Structure 1
Amino acid sequence: MKLKITGLFFSAVLLFSGCSDKYLDLQDKQNLTENTFWTTRQHALQGITATYAALQAHDGDKWTFFEQVYTTLAFKADDIDNNKNEPYGKNLAAFVNSADESGPWNLWATCYAGIGRANQVIEKVPGITVMTETERGQIVAEAKFLRAYNYFVLVNGFENVPLVLKFEKDLTKLQVPQAPPVEVWAQIEKDLTEAEGLLPESYSSEYKGRATKGAAKALLAKTYLYQEKWAQAEAKFREIYGKYSLNANYVDNFNGTKENGPESVFEIQFSGDRSVSDERHPFNFEGRPYALDGWEIFYPSDWVVTEMKKDKTSDGGYSDRVYGNIFFDDPKSTMWDLNTPANQIPYADVASSLSRPAYYNKYAYPNDRSGAYVGYNISLIRYADVLLMLAEAANENGKTDEAIGFVNEVRVRSHATALATGSLSKDQLRQQIRNHERPVELAMEFGIRWFDLVRWGRGNTAKQPVKTLLQDHAKPFAGNYVEEKHIRYPIPLKEINTNPLLKQNNLY
């Protein structure tokens, strides 16, 4: 479902922050009102599309999406080393940010944009009588899925956030206090359980990319996993086990050729179209080296490169996911340039011009490209991640050998040597999943690694303090990390100035 919207009206769309009208192309701004808008099936589709559109950032801008939202989610983790000469996410990566840092505010605004739009859909669509009950229920379920996803990001990132479930036009009523995190988690579970019951298994090609029953199950299982509800997580993941499949080629998850394909559980949709709004993003451009006309804004950390080089095939070579993740000093390592048509450049051809020994190769592909930027989708949940989370839950439930089998499904796809059954204890497999399988398979992917570190740092099962891990993995500026402070983002100062009922997170 590519995100284009015409004829859409919202009286307001955000919780505490203003919103751009970039996605709105109103045919009659004088006569279109809230009451006349929410009357047809097309209005309902436009409303839910706008809710999906918020996943691209609250203002729909590709630079906000990458240089604010993505960097905020990614740069604190141990698989990323930011370019110290660039400002984007610099203070977050060095653990010296204050409450007025722009990245966390843009993440907050993006999530509450999605929540505000979802709340409006949930309230208004049931009253559209020209639609069938089934279709109304499905669209409301999509909105609940999206609301749950946004609260999942907020509660993991900020922990202490307002829980707003009603669309408010009176701005004074938006000044509400934070809810206890346990209430936010409970609402996420409720929304996803209700969404699961009404979402379809799949869609026609016209609507591919909308949230499915499988996506709701996966996010609900992930929600259980993050709360260490191991039995519930395992059971829910098993409900979608085998309902998806891994792409034969690892890189097809990142090059735009298998969008919404067999491995996709849920993706942020981009089209590359610039006719209405700029449906592109700069992932293809931002991480590539200067020598290949990139911006070189971030790099794979030395630790993750070392860990990847342990991922070997049966003949001693590197697995496909190593080559798919990093551009490094190896005869088989190549990266596409930005020429038209594009060419694959061997590492040796540009080695003398590189400032770093390794770069991320993931997403650096020429498909669906307009200029330097691309329109291929960004995965939020893919089946390989589901298999690794299922393995984690099964292992914690004492099913270590079966969990090894789930891990091996992911490894074998990339021709990494399978782990031998019985070769690892429960504790050893836990560490293998946490600090090899997940970072090697899912390196730099949207919203993955930092939230993994957060949940293991907050959890009670084999608690893994974030600072210790960052220091063990030689994260630059790890010495600045304060455990009870930097595990959360600050509540944005803009929001506290607007809403006096908000309390700042600890030590900010």
Structure 2
Amino acid sequence: MKTNQFLSLFIQPAYILGTLLLFASCERLLEKEPYTLTLETYFNNETELETFLTGVYSPIMQEHFYGNNYPLYNAGGDDLTFYQRSSPASSILCANANSSNSYITTYWRILYEGINRANILLENIDKNASIPQGYRDRIRAEALFLRSFYYFNLIQGWGDVPLRLQSTKSVYGLDAPRADKQLIYDTLIADIVSSLPHLYKSTDLPYTGRVTQSAAKGILARIYLFRAGEHFRDNTAPDANRQLYFAEAKRWALEVKESGLHGLVTPYQRVFLDLSEDKYNSTGVRESIWEAEEAGNRSTVEQAAGRLGNTLGFGSSNDFSSTEGLKELMGLANPGYSYKFAYASLKLYEMYESEGDTARGDWNIANYEYVFESSGSRKVLGRKYYFGKKRPEYIEPDGFSFTEETEAASNRNKTRCAAKYRREHEVVGPKNKNYTPINFPILRYSDVLLMIAEADNELTPEPSALAYECIDAVRNRAGIMPLAAQTLTKAQFRDAIKKERAMELCFEAGRRWDLIRWGEFGATMRSMQGFVNQEGWGGNFKYASAYYNVPDTYTYFPIPDSEMSINKLITANNPGW
């Protein structure tokens, strides 16, 4: 056998084995049975190119990325949430990670896994010139975008990282120095821009698990905003081009807006009900632009299930046993098991309270709890609403008969579980204890509008009509007062954007990166220690204070020990690690 016949000889077997995905008849990205392929005899037709491309997508939906670990343990450490357990997890989330941390190590590995797969595909796309050029160009465009997306995530986490633009073919190619992140930015931006003409339009696809022109432009805007904030991250990156980066962020986000293909879904919670109910923009309005596509719950042939709603989601204290699925078969309500690891902070609660924002506040932060039988089948008896307030408009029909009641308005802690992702509405049954088919929203149109408002404000001496239009579209959907009725300074509008992004996009794995690019991460996190002594913060959660004691070194992740032990050209870790 030739030394390059199987990449599994040299790198993680998962690069090739067991993680290639097949398109199902409904054309979504669904993980199927593993198999081995020989690269020398592959890439012969459209089906094989398409199949390998799904393997390039695969890391995005896996448990180590959007399927669970990334939104909870790696990107989840911010001022809007805390880890609600009796003892902290060893993670970035709980500010007690180190360079051997498993969540950091697997995240690094899976990003380079995706990059290597993209490189393999890019090197073999033109192997068979009889495949139509347009088809190959579209496959190439998606692979280039995905490689760039993985590199952007590496820059966010680690800054300077090895830049690998060819596939790994032998053990002698594992050593690579860290490349300057500005070079990586230039490379990935150029690749995304070159891919745009060949990507699908949002109207070409009935689902959102695949990259489109709108998704690529929205991610370009996100990249440019983060690049504009690199100077504030550690005061070492050059600041000369910051206005140019804001202009580019505005340009690309504005192209999404001006396409007329996207809008805001009403009501707000419908966006997240669609994620649970396996629907794609069910109202006909395309707010969800790109999702990490999950499927099944690991109880069926579809194995691309994550844990959204289970670790990060509405809490259910229901006892779960091997016969849990029988509840559904018996006609008993089963809201799905959740560990409710992530709780909303008092700061987030008070943001909603200060704006009178019940539309988003009562959805993103639990406003009721399930009531169970104390013994026997432990069936769900109903819902009990907090603070004596019942808002049934936030509850979708679920086919089961729930009683609904309210509790006294006093003595209820304001810190409650993050409830954006709710297993009650899952359509795949019987429910699995830990795995769910709920997709993760990587990019929504509301984010695009807020990026336009933010970038435009940084480019003008005072807030413009466009900036007000964009932020007020998001606020109007939430039913709160528009900002255009006020006269805000540039600085006041900037603060309003920061607050709006928190209320709109909480628990979507973006807040940490926002704080870092604003140069506010460490100080903001440490300021949260005072919140735990305020009224409304549950006494059982005061250990959360330790989670907010975050040193400034946490603006970067540590390079994993496993990488430094193999790659001899990386001789120093990030500062403080």
Deviations 1:387-437 (A, max 9, x none): 001100011111613212110101111212211345211100101111x10
Pair 1:193-2:188 in alignment: no
In 1, the alpha carbon distance for the partners of 2:168 and 2:393 equals 49
The 3-state SS of whatever aligns with 1:310 is helix
Identity score, percent:
26
Q: Given residue 468 of structure 1, which amino acid in structure 2 is its aligned partner?
A: A
Q: Given residue 418 of structure 2, which amino acid in structure 1 is its aligned partner?
A: Y
1:231 deviates by: 1.3
User: Partner residue of 2:80?
Assistant: 79
Which one has a bigger Cα radius of gyration?
2
In 1, the alpha carbon distance for the partners of 2:515 and 2:144 equals 27
1:27 deviates by: 9.3
In 2, the alpha carbon distance for the partners of 1:451 and 1:134 equals 36
In 1, the alpha carbon distance for the partners of 2:403 and 2:366 equals 10
1:156 deviates by: 0.7
The RMSD of aligned alpha carbons is 3.2
In 2, the alpha carbon distance for the partners of 1:486 and 1:357 equals 25
Q: Residues 321, 144 of structure 1: CA spacing in aligned structure 2 closer, same or farther, 3 A cutoff?
A: same
Q: Given residue 37 of structure 1, which amino acid in structure 2 is its aligned partner?
A: Y
Query: Which stretch shifts more, 42-51 or 12-21?
Result: 12-21
Deviations 1:463-506 (A, max 9, x none): xx3222113333733674221x1111100111111212123111
Q: Residues 168, 424 of structure 1: CA spacing in aligned structure 2 closer, same or farther, 3 A cutoff?
A: same
Contact 2:18–2:34 under 8 Å retained in 1: no
User: Partner residue of 1:476?
Assistant: 545
The 3-state SS of whatever aligns with 1:267 is strand
In 2, the alpha carbon distance for the partners of 1:300 and 1:413 equals 22
Once the two structures are superposed, the pairs formed by residues 104-253 of structure 1 within 5 Å of their partners are 104-202=104-202, 204-205=204-205, 209-228=209-228, 229-241=245-257, 242-253=260-271
Q: Residues 105, 14 of structure 1: CA spacing in aligned structure 2 closer, same or farther, 3 A cutoff?
A: farther
In 2, the alpha carbon distance for the partners of 1:426 and 1:400 equals 6
In 1, the alpha carbon distance for the partners of 2:354 and 2:8 equals 48
Query: Which stretch shifts more, 42-51 or 414-423?
Result: 414-423
User: Partner residue of 2:503?
Assistant: 440
User: Partner residue of 1:310?
Assistant: 354
Pair 1:267-2:291 in alignment: yes
1:36 deviates by: 1.3
Q: Residues 477, 335 of structure 1: CA spacing in aligned structure 2 closer, same or farther, 3 A cutoff?
A: farther
Contact 1:405–1:421 under 8 Å retained in 2: no
Q: Given residue 358 of structure 2, which amino acid in structure 1 is its aligned partner?
A: S
* Equivalent of residue 425 in structure 1, options 489, 500, 509: 489
Q: Residues 108, 28 of structure 1: CA spacing in aligned structure 2 closer, same or farther, 3 A cutoff?
A: closer
In 1, the alpha carbon distance for the partners of 2:343 and 2:120 equals 40
User: Partner residue of 2:98?
Assistant: 98
Q: Given residue 320 of structure 1, which amino acid in structure 2 is its aligned partner?
A: A
Q: Given residue 268 of structure 1, which amino acid in structure 2 is its aligned partner?
A: A
The 3-state SS of whatever aligns with 2:484 is coil
1:94 deviates by: 3.5
> How many residues in Structure 1 have an aligned counterpart in Structure 2?
478
* Equivalent of residue 361 in structure 1, options 413, 419, 429: 419
Q: Given residue 147 of structure 1, which amino acid in structure 2 is its aligned partner?
A: R
Q: TM-score, normalised by structure 1?
A: 0.85
In 1, the alpha carbon distance for the partners of 2:129 and 2:408 equals 62
Deviations 1:180-227 (A, max 9, x none): 111111112111111112213136457753211111111112222222
Q: Given residue 438 of structure 1, which amino acid in structure 2 is its aligned partner?
A: R
Contact 2:18–2:33 under 8 Å retained in 1: no
Q: Given residue 34 of structure 1, which amino acid in structure 2 is its aligned partner?
A: L
* Equivalent of residue 564 in structure 2, options 483, 496, 500: 496
Contact 1:192–1:219 under 8 Å retained in 2: no
User: Partner residue of 2:345?
Assistant: 301
* Equivalent of residue 479 in structure 2, options 404, 415, 430: 415
1:232 deviates by: 1.5
Q: Given residue 11 of structure 1, which amino acid in structure 2 is its aligned partner?
A: F
The 3-state SS of whatever aligns with 2:442 is strand
Deviations 1:119-169 (A, max 9, x none): 111111122323211110011100111111111111011112111111121
Q: Residues 421, 128 of structure 1: CA spacing in aligned structure 2 closer, same or farther, 3 A cutoff?
A: farther
User: Partner residue of 1:6?
Assistant: none
User: Partner residue of 2:57?
Assistant: 52
The 3-state SS of whatever aligns with 1:19 is helix
Contact 1:94–1:480 under 8 Å retained in 2: no
In 1, the alpha carbon distance for the partners of 2:187 and 2:428 equals 39
1:322 deviates by: 1.3
1:17 deviates by: 5.0
User: Partner residue of 1:40?
Assistant: 45
The 3-state SS of whatever aligns with 1:416 is coil
The 3-state SS of whatever aligns with 1:299 is strand
Q: Residues 310, 47 of structure 1: CA spacing in aligned structure 2 closer, same or farther, 3 A cutoff?
A: same
Contact 2:296–2:304 under 8 Å retained in 1: yes
In 2, the alpha carbon distance for the partners of 1:409 and 1:211 equals 25
Q: Give unmatched runs, 5+ long, in structure 2.
A: 21-31, 229-244, 319-336, 368-385, 530-543
The 3-state SS of whatever aligns with 1:285 is coil
* Equivalent of residue 281 in structure 1, options 288, 306, 310: 306
